[in-house]
Amino acid sequence: MQSGKGAHEMEWLTTVRAAIGYIEDHLEEDISAQDVAEHVYLSPYFLQRGFSLMTGYGISEYIRDRRLYEAAVDLRETDDRVIDIALRYCYDTPESFTKAFSRFHGATPSQVRSGAGINTFLPLTIRLNIQGGDQMEYTITPMFPFKVIGFQKIFDNETAYEEIPRFWDEICEKYAANVYAGNDPANAYEQALVDNCIGEYGVCIDDIGGGRFRYLVAGRYTGGDVPEGMVVYEFPRGEWAVFSCTGPLPEAMQSVNTRIYSEWLPGNPDYELSGNATAEWYDCINGEKTDPDYRSAIWIPVRKKEH
């Protein structure tokens, strides 16, 4: 979480509501998820995750759908030209506007102006029943600085949930299949995978902006050569909230992740997010990820709230 006025003053629910309010006030301006995050003093990565879990929409998706609904209202209630409405809601050309509009409403702008039905998409109102508060099973653990090494790829906040599992499959197929079959490492990448237990961690690092973040399929760095294309990242000393997961993946971890952002953070009187990186831990020794008793965990950097 970024420092600044309101960063630690706003509860999570208030933050999401403030994000929605900002979007509503700027629908006719060229805003991005980055702009929304800056307005509520939260990193884009954390805001995107919490917003998606609470509303079911990515931030850019929500902005787009609200604009397209308001554009349909304008078509029905005004005589404004289609090109003017397209520009009003931040589309560069009538063609791009018509394509997006037709996909969303199932009708072209001219058909809607003539009376065709539209897809209603009103501003979201966030009313959550917080159950459990901060009573989830977790530990607050101080950690010394530690390094991870891994294969890195940059993802967009909007599509990361779909693309990251494919990245894992790609890394496993390309670098792990040989050693998982019981063979000796055949190259420097396979050697690094074995030496550092790469696959024990999934690391999200929000430090590049623009609605994107770095993700590492990683292991704890034990020293030695870093093959070309691989990266080393050091976590600073600090406190972490460690949430244990038991059950097959991805369901068990997704369930705990949802509870963190919809229950633990909004209801927690003592801790708030800190730093710009989170980690997923996977048991690389015991069991398979599909086992009902498979162990994993989510690590979130936190700090004490100022009261």
Per-residue model confidence as pLDDT tens digits over 108-160: 999 999 988 898 898 887 654 444 333 467 888 888 888 999 999 999 877 88
Instruction: Write the CATH number for 87.
Output: 1.10.10.60
Q: Are residues 103 and 179 in the same domain?
A: no
What does the pLDDT average to over 84-103?
95
Structure tokens at 300: 């979130």
244 vs 252: CA distance, rounded Å: 10
In a domain, 133, yes or no: no
Q: Who has greater pLDDT, 183 or 264? A: 183
Flag whether pLDDT at 292 surpasses 90.
Answer: no
Residue 1 and residue 43 in contact, taking contact as beta carbons nearer than 8 Å: yes
pTM for the structure as a whole: 0.67
3 vs 207: CA distance, rounded Å: 15
CA distances from 279 to 149, 175, 276 (A): 13, 21, 11
Count CB neighbours of 16 within 10 A: 24
Instruction: Write the CATH number for 274.
Output: 3.20.80.10
Q: Are residues 91 and 12 in the same domain?
A: yes
Give the pLDDT confidence score for residue 6 in this predicted structure. Answer: 36
163 vs 157: CA distance, rounded Å: 10
212 beta partners: 156
Burial 19-56 (b: 16+ CB within 10 A, else e): bbebbeeebeeebebbbbbbbbbbbbbbbbbbbbbbbe
- Name which of 68-82, 131-145, 251-265 the model is least confident about: 131-145
- Name which of 4-8, 206-210, 239-243 the model is least confident about: 4-8
Domain span at 117: 1-128
Query: Which amino acid is residue 259, in one-letter code?
Result: R
Flag whether pLDDT at 3 surpasses 70.
Answer: no
Last residue of a domain, one of 70, 103, 128: 128
Residue 143 and residue 238 in contact, taking contact as beta carbons nearer than 8 Å: yes
Flag whether pLDDT at 28 surpasses 60.
Answer: yes
